[in-house]
Structure 1
């Protein structure tokens, strides 16, 4: 089968589309024909080697974790899924170990989703049946974004009328965070570039601060002199956060998902992607209702997957990038 692999640690130059064996599922595993796979920055961070002490890779390493596809085979002791089931979700490389355990319990492992077929451990809340009415491409970009957004919203009691500054609103996770906050009646102040204003307002943002033309904290305080109720950082590295934290009122909340995370004395709480039982079912229902919109802005065939990751690494990306692996 065709798969996008990394030959070793490094950048996009280490990626290539090549042939790898199709693996049979073992006990507790399912084999899935991948219909579509969503890209995440973490895919490239793993290949870069920044996590190689905690998450060592074996090469060639098949990229990708988010997906939608069809179950083709089920190993022994699998009860949740059967051949023919349409499913979606995410998995991590098996060497992720404790990281995967934090992301889902039982943990979710995969052989890599940028491939025509992938194996998954079946008994995990990070996999779910794809509901009728949810397009496979839409489903394939939801898991990591939405399962990061849900823990963020659970980290504080966001209520109607609150003012929340969202840093990096036009990115992949912003496509879930902004509409979920807006659905609660939160007044979202989004940071993005000017050309993304229509996009983030379409997600539900009430205001935009163009971070290229204004200092974010200064502009936020000019508009809201008493400070905002919370800051949700989806993009800035930890060292940059103290400068924007002053936009938050005393007693407000500071939440972060970005890498590298801020230090323990920063006042920020770092929230991690987490799949709890029922979460993906909720995500699918919200997507069908239109609360979680389809944020795919660029689509590629598997043959162009290297270019897709090059675009992710080197270009301004709005929303999510999607690779169609075996379109139906």
Structure 2
């Protein structure tokens, strides 16, 4: 089968499309024919080597990502899924160990989703049946973004009328965070370039700050002298966050998902992607209702997978990038 692999630790220059064996599911596993796979920056961080001690890779390494597809075979003991079931979700490489356990319990492992077929552990909340009315392409872009947004919203009481500054609103996770906050009646102040203003307002942002033309903290305080109730950082590195925290009123909340995160004394709480039982089903239902919109802005074939990751690494990306996979 065709698969997008990394030949070793490094950048996108070490990615290539090649042929790898189709694997047979073992006990508790399912084989899935991948219909579409969503890209995440974490995919590239993993192959860069920054996590090589915590999650060492074996090469050639098939890139992972969010996915949607059809179950083709099941291993011994699998009752939750059957051949022909359409599903979506995410998985991490088995060597991720504790990282996968944080993301879901039982943990979610995969042989890599940037391929025509992939194996997954069946018994994990990071997989779910694809609900009727949800297209595979949209579903494949949802898991990491939405399963990061849900823990963020659970980390504080975001009630109607709350003022929240969202830094990096036009990115992949912003496409879930902003509409979920807006659905609660939160007044979202989003940072974005002018070309993305219409997009983030469409997600539900009430105000937009062009971070390239003004200093965001100063501009936020100019508009809201008392400060905002919370800051949700989806983009800035940890070293930049202490200055941004000035925009938050005393007693407000500081939440972060970006890597590298802030130090332990920064006042920020770093929130990680997490799939609890029922979360992915909730995500699918919210997407069907239109609360979570389709944020895919660029689509590629699997043959264009290297270009997709090159664009992710080197270009300004709005929303989500998606690779459509045609199984042989």
> 1:64 Cα shift?
1.8
Matching of residues 1-328 of structure 1 within 5 Å = 1-326=1-326
CA distance in structure 2 between the partners assigned to 1:277 and 1:248 by the alignment: 33
What do residues 215-242 of structure 1 show as CA deviations (whole Å, max 9, x unaligned)?
0000000000000000000000000001
TM-score normalised to structure 1 length:
0.99
CA distance in structure 1 between the partners assigned to 2:200 and 2:311 by the alignment: 20
CA distance in structure 2 between the partners assigned to 1:321 and 1:51 by the alignment: 23
Say if 1:38 and 1:141, in contact at 8 Å, map to a contact too. Answer: yes
What do residues 242-289 of structure 1 show as CA deviations (whole Å, max 9, x unaligned)?
111000000000000000010010000000000000000000000000
CA distance in structure 2 between the partners assigned to 1:286 and 1:162 by the alignment: 22
CA distance in structure 2 between the partners assigned to 1:258 and 1:265 by the alignment: 16
Equivalenced residues, count: 328
CA distance in structure 1 between the partners assigned to 2:315 and 2:270 by the alignment: 26
CA distance in structure 2 between the partners assigned to 1:101 and 1:244 by the alignment: 31
Instruction: Tell me how large the CA RMSD over aligned residues is.
Output: 0.9
| 3-state secondary structure, aligned to 1:246 | helix
> 1:65 Cα shift?
2.4
Say if 1:300 and 1:323, in contact at 8 Å, map to a contact too. Answer: yes
What do residues 4-26 of structure 1 show as CA deviations (whole Å, max 9, x unaligned)?
00000000000000000000000
Taking structure 1 as reference, are residues 324 and 79 closer, same or farther at Cα in structure 2, changes over 3 Å only?
same
